[in-house]
Chain A
Amino acid sequence: MPVVLAERSADISTVLQHSAFKDQEYLKSRIIFPTTPEGKNDDDFQNEFLQDLKNNGSWRTTVDNKGAFLVDQLGNLVPMKPSEDFVPPDDVEGFGGFVSVPFSSVLPLADEYSDTRGNRLDVMNKIFENKKLF
């Protein structure tokens, strides 16, 4: 986390976590899963990967401190399925095909989250009602 954003880290983390893991079906539809072991059920192992991501994955800042990208339990980037309507974010060059978010997109949401009173989960759900970060 860039030093200038240190004080905002809690809100930023909350927003990032929510954006990635609240809507598991969306995440499932967007990422490329690792190969399922032979003879095993794809769905079960895709759910395993999602569970691993939620529990052991982490967001890391890019070297230029302009954004963050998601890594899995093994520290590898999480690739996204090619999508025609997907526009890679400007501030995270080189991460276009992976789950990544520029801070310039996260900060306004973190501000909104911090400034809005009420049940925290409701506030977050409302923020992400019609919005996706990646």
Chain B
Amino acid sequence: MVDVYIPEQNFDQNVHDQYFDNAKAGTLDVLGATLDETLYYNPVNALGRIGEQLVGKGRQGQTLSKEDYLNSSYYRDGMQINDDGITEGLAQLLADRHDERESFKATLSRSRGGFGLQAAQFGVAMGGSILDPLNVASAFIPSIAVARTATMAAKITSPVQLAKKSLAGKTTGSRFTTGTIDGAIGAVAVEPLVIGAAALEGDEDYTLMDSFLNVALGSALGGGLHAGFGKISDRINKLPAPTRDAAQRTSTAQLAQDQEVNITPLIDDAEKINIAKMEQQAGKKIVYNSEGVPKAVDIVDIGKDGTITIRDVDGKEKVLDASDVRGKSPFDEDYEVEDIGTGEIVPLSTISDEFLNATVKEFNARIDNLQPYAGKPKSEIESDAIKIDKLKADKKAVEIELDRRAGKVIERPTDPDFKKALADDVKKFKKEIDDIKAKAEKRKNKNITSKEQSRLAELQEKITTREAQLQEASDLVNTEQGVFTAQQKQDLIDNQQLEPNNLGRLADHKDAVDEMAADKPVMEETDLVDFEAENARLQEDLENEEVQKILPADMKRSIEDTKALDEKANNFEAISRAGAACIMRR
């Protein structure tokens, strides 16, 4: 056997001294610093900083002379004040902000760069911009859109309106373009706030180039907001008119009172009610036990606070998530559990492996503590049973997440056939209608009672709703909770790998598509001489007597008008030059 000499680790003073020349900041740190920078330079933050500086803390405290300031702990390299001195409050504000900027700049200066990281940074910056209500409001709220358009009216209203008019549409492409224009205008409108705040606090690092980049980011943000991110503008547009008005009034009032604009609860409530209504009408819901086994149950009631009461397969009425039935499967990747360190409810994906393992231990311990013992009151046993069930579901979700991270194949139990459940309901209701009618037929007067009549109407409505739901059932199953399951994602990836042509259900027509793709039109360079010769031939044809005879009068007039326009166009350059000579008095 050969001995291997492993030298003991030694300290290298040079490497230590030059650490910051060689060690780069981690990707997450750089992205975090990018987010900090974006949030710092967001318009609302800039507005807040200006306000704090001009009318808030910036005016408080005693006045420090210039000399006192330069010798104080508030002074930072490069900061300049005028000879009148500075209030202590303002000096502190400027120092704090300088330190805040330096902090994220320190990380950004250590970025390892590269296209991937920069693309991710751009994404984070976009995300950060969305957090700013002014950025978003300037892209969507019509009244503000009008105001900002007016600001730009002198130079660009006309082309922008024309472009918007021609591009307005429902496709993502046109929505993106329209949004880009909106975003650019919005960003131009709010940018003075940002650069103004930077100038006020002596931030010399924020230059016109940053301003330009902010406008560019605003354009992309506008485009992105209109086209992607759940199509927020469409989300707002889909709200009922009163809710939309309320959202606009609320946001305007919040801005006027210097509060953060937050209309999310309004939108969420409106949407929640819509979803609740839809589920109530459908009357069915897929629920899960703590092991993630799904079943389709009937919805009995949906409370105003969103509490859902269902009828389980055994006929018992249960409150969703407050019994042994759950609305979320432990197999869902966006499952949330308690962070045992902080007590907050967080998505599983945000918890480290180490803490996930600790969480399993912790949940096991809690489950043990809640077990029944001799003499335990029945009410306590019942309430603890619900807690145990929730803990079991959470533990299962944590274990699945650990398996997922270990690369194991996760086999999610298949959701019940929602279509079949709906079809069974339709069948059941139709049978009840037939029974009611048959019962009436047997009566002497063959009349249907008013009670039966209302039941028939109710059944008919339920049938209509379920038949409509049947058409959307596939989508409902695929996007239950709005998230693909791991299995569904894998299936999707597999399908894409099997059908690289991305034709999906049209895959049968692949040959025809290939043929069309191969048959690309070849654009040859236009020869001006040929073009003019062709024009001359057309002109000759037009002047032909026979052609003139058959040409309708309005077409002849159009040709004359075109000739006049052509002459004007030919003279345009000469007229422009004459005009320029007049203006310059030459």
Residues of chain A touching chain B, judged by Cβ–Cβ distance below 8 Å, are: 10, 13-14, 17, 32, 34-37, 39-41, 43-45, 47-49, 51-52, 55-56, 60, 62-63, 69, 71-74, 76-77, 79, 94, 97-98, 117-121
B358 near A48 with CB under 8 A, answer no
Main secondary structure of the interface of B (DSSP, over half): helix
Interface size class of B (residues with CB under 8 A): 35 or more
Contacts of B22 in A (CB 8 A): 74
* Given contact pairs A94-B8, A121-B341, A47 touches B23 in the complex (Cβ within 8 A): no
- Give A40's nearest chain B residue, CB to CB: B106
A51 near B19 with CB under 8 A, answer no
- Give B20's nearest chain A residue, CB to CB: A37
Q: Can you name 6 A-B residue pairings with CB atoms under 8 Å?
A: A34-B17, A35-B18, A63-B7, A73-B23, A77-B10, A120-B340
Chain B 226-260, CB-CB to A under 8 Å as 1, else 0, gives 00000000000000000000000000000000000
A40 to B101, CA, bound (A): 12
Contacts of A77 in B (CB 8 A): 9-11
A16 to B123, CA, bound (A): 35
* Given contact pairs A60-B9, A76-B15, A119-B340, A39 touches B77 in the complex (Cβ within 8 A): yes
Contacts of B340 in A (CB 8 A): 119-121
CB distance from B226 to the nearest CB of A (A): 37
From B24-32, B312-320, B375-383, the one touching the partner chain is: B24-32
Contacts of A34 in B (CB 8 A): 16-20
A70 to B16, CA, bound (A): 14
B9 near A71 with CB under 8 A, answer yes
> Would you call B553 an interface residue if the criterion is a C-beta within 8 Å of the partner chain's C-beta atoms?
no
Residues of chain B touching chain A, judged by Cβ–Cβ distance below 8 Å, are: 6-12, 15-23, 25-26, 28-29, 77, 99, 102-103, 106-107, 110, 340-341, 354-355, 357-359, 361-362, 365
Contacts of B19 in A (CB 8 A): 34-35, 49, 72, 74, 76
- Give A37's nearest chain B residue, CB to CB: B20
Given A45-B20, A73-B23, 20 more contacts at CB 8 Å? A34-B16, A37-B21, A48-B106, A51-B26, A51-B29, A51-B107, A55-B28, A60-B9, A62-B9, A71-B9, A74-B15, A76-B12, A77-B10, A79-B11, A79-B16, A117-B365, A118-B362, A118-B365, A121-B340, A121-B341
Contacts of A72 in B (CB 8 A): 19, 23
- Give A35's nearest chain B residue, CB to CB: B17
A69 near B9 with CB under 8 A, answer yes
B9 near A120 with CB under 8 A, answer no
A55 near B26 with CB under 8 A, answer yes
Contacts of B11 in A (CB 8 A): 76-77, 79, 97-98
Contacts of B103 in A (CB 8 A): 44, 47
Question: Of the candidates B25, B106, B355, which one forms a contact with A41 in the assembled complex, judged by CB atoms under 8 Å apart?
Answer: B106
B357 near A10 with CB under 8 A, answer yes
